[in-house]
Amino acid sequence: MLSIDETCLYDIYKESIDGDSIYVIFDSSGSIISHSNRQSTGTRFNVKPFAKLLNGPADKHQLVQIGRQKYLCIYQTIEKVNWTIVNMIPLTTLYKDINTLGFRIFIISLLFISFSISLAWIISRKISLPLIKLKNRIKSHPQKSRIVQESSIMDEITLLSREYEHIIDELEKTINDLIREQEEKRKAELQALQMQIKPHFLYNTINSIKCLLWAGKTELIEPTINALVNLLEQTISGKEELITLGEEIQCVKDYIYIQEIRSSHTIRLNVKIPEALQKCLVPKLLLQPLVENAIFHGFEPKQPSGKIWGTLSIYATAIGNTIQLEILDDGVGMEQSTAEKLLLDDSQVRPRRFTGIGVKNIQERIQLYFGKHYGLTIHSEPGVGTSVVITLPQKYDDGNTEVAME
């Protein structure tokens, strides 16, 4: 026999007692050897609720309900002394941490949902408030659109999208009207420039015929008038604003013929234009005013002896999608500073070399036809001559822009 104080057993497991947990050690007769409730030691243990558990294999666990309380029961049998150790843990104790964790998760989720809703509301207000204000402005506008009048409950996005389409349609209509007005304005300005140069051209040509009468060269009047008629047919008559470069060169040749008859002098004309550029479209009377200025202000002041007045060269070169025409003469020339002032919009500029109407008129007509990227550049040197370079886009009868190859 070995006598052991029950306190020794209690001291072993008392540290493991947690809350409402119960520890019981009883023998084969059901007498309680040790109990977590010290007052129950020595009493009989009611094994009836644990019958199923105790009859099963060792190291088992089972849910047992005692009264209104449910316990998770874990037992182990010590075979040498035939004792049974039972640990009863209330389910409320087990679920306590789980419930606490669940409550914390619920609170965190609730806070997160509240934060998300608040953030979504703030963002939606930032997005929708300007739309609402814009919608109200549209509705309060004196000239309400047809869309606003048809529906007062239309949502902002639908309303604004339809109103946007309506505004785009109105804008396109306005742009088309402006384009049409600008085109009509361009045509009116172009006609004004043409009306300006036509009397000027006719005056100088008829003046040449008058000089033939004074000189008694009546036999040359008829061919001169024929040349004038050809010029009128090509340049002044007709509704086309553009003619081919070949037709413009023929006009220059007819004009030079008239001037040669008038002055009894010969002008050497060198024309070097690639065949591919002959059909390139250019404005009417593009070269004639420049040739006229070369004769009256470049050749005549030289007072040449003999019948050779001077040399006039016309070159054409294709550069990318553009064409460059150069009119080069060996007249008296002028200072480069004077040449640079010719294209300025200054009515006080009175160049001695050009008549002004020829150069400025050509520049304005080119830019009305093709835009500000095209026009004239002038280079001159006293005693050497003058070069006028005209830059134009390559345009042909089919309306396309092409690159002409030599």
CATH number of residue 257's parent domain = 3.30.565.10
- Residues 380, 289, single domain; the answer is yes
> How are strands ordered across the β-sheet holding 61-66?
32-35, 22-26, 83-90, 69-78, 61-66
Cβ atoms within 10 Å of 163's Cβ, excluding its own: 18
Q: What is residue 362's predicted lDDT score, i.e. its pLDDT? A: 83
403 is a domain residue: no
Q: What is residue 245's predicted lDDT score, i.e. its pLDDT? A: 92
Residue type, 16: S
- Residues 212, 71, single domain; the answer is no
Which residue do the tokens 């804008």 mark?
Answer: 171
> What is the number of domains present in the chain?
2
Q: What is residue 151's predicted lDDT score, i.e. its pLDDT? A: 47
Low-confidence residues of the chain, pLDDT below 50? Answer: 145, 147-149, 151-153, 346-356, 403-406
d(CA 144, CA 142) in angstroms, rounded, equals 6
Vertex 124: Cα angle to 118 and 125 (nearest 5)? 90
Report the CATH number at residue 65.
Answer: 3.30.450.20
- Residues 207, 327, single domain; the answer is yes
- Residues 222, 313, single domain; the answer is yes
d(CA 104, CA 55) in angstroms, rounded, equals 41
Spatial contact of 330 and 313, defined as CB atoms under 8 Å apart: no
Vertex 121: Cα angle to 116 and 126 (nearest 5)? 130
Vertex 146: Cα angle to 142 and 149 (nearest 5)? 75
- Residues 246, 344, single domain; the answer is yes
Q: What is residue 357's predicted lDDT score, i.e. its pLDDT? A: 55
Q: What is residue 262's predicted lDDT score, i.e. its pLDDT? A: 67
215 is a domain residue: yes
129 is a domain residue: no
- Residues 232, 362, single domain; the answer is yes
Hey, which residues does 76 pair with through a beta bridge?
A: 85
Domain that holds residue 82: 6-94
Cβ atoms within 10 Å of 179's Cβ, excluding its own: 10
Q: H-type helices in 216-274, by residue range?
A: 221-231, 245-263
- Residues 246, 373, single domain; the answer is yes
pLDDT, tens only, 210-253 = 777 777 777 777 777 887 777 777 666 555 678 899 988 988 88
- What's the distance, CA 213 to chain centroid? 67
d(CA 135, CA 143) in angstroms, rounded, equals 14
Spatial contact of 332 and 383, defined as CB atoms under 8 Å apart: yes
Domain boundary among 34, 62, 94: 94
Q: What is residue 379's predicted lDDT score, i.e. its pLDDT? A: 92
Domain boundary among 39, 69, 94: 94
286 is a domain residue: yes
Q: What is residue 200's predicted lDDT score, i.e. its pLDDT? A: 58
Q: What is residue 177's predicted lDDT score, i.e. its pLDDT? A: 85
Domain boundary among 69, 94, 119: 94
pTM over 0.75? The answer is no
- Residues 335, 197, single domain; the answer is yes
Q: Max Cα separation, the chain?
A: 173
Q: What is residue 139's predicted lDDT score, i.e. its pLDDT? A: 65
